[in-house]
Amino acid sequence: MSLIGTRRVQVTWVFYPAIRNGLSYDGMPREVDEVILADHASEPITSLNNQQDIERALYRQRRPTGIAGRPIVEKVVPLCDCTMFAQVCRYAAEFDGLRFRLASGERIGHWRVYENIPDATEGYPGHKLIGEVRTEFADELLALVREMRGHR
């Protein structure tokens, strides 16, 4: 059992039927669901234990009846750990429950990661720059920042 209780993650995934004729899953529809990690929540989201728990939960909850196959997880994003109690979430009203967000950068092919500031203190106008990164690494950096700094 986890040391920190549970964590909620948002998972983008596709259910890939077990077809043996070499079809790719590129044209299949993507799903976005929330999954609660409990058994290995204190481990990083990218750990093998958490990946198996996510696939197992998606398979049990969302598998189409009568179709053999498995869920293929494409993206996992940690969610706010206080959104279960929206009345105490500092970011719920103004920032849709998000502490960190992406915005386009000043240079072509770059994104900026910002931390939303609910109480505009310390001279920041509602957000603070965390860093700027190339477009292909933006989602991974945002997931890493969310996981390391949390939403407390």
Could you report the per-residue pLDDT of 3-22, keeping only the tens digit for each? 455 677 888 888 877 555 45
- The answer to whether residues 29 and 74 touch, using CB atoms and an 8 Å cutoff, is no
pLDDT band at 2; cut points 50, 70, 90: very low
- The answer to whether residues 15 and 63 touch, using CB atoms and an 8 Å cutoff, is yes
- The token pair that represents 29 in the structure block: 């529809």
What does the alpha-carbon distance between residue 127 and residue 145 come to, in Å, rounded to a whole number?
Answer: 15
* Burial (CB count within 10 angstroms: exposed 0-12, middle 13-18, buried 19+), residue 68: exposed
Reported as a single tens digit per residue, the pLDDT across 40-65 is: 777 777 788 888 888 888 888 877 67
pLDDT for 3? 42
pLDDT for 75? 85
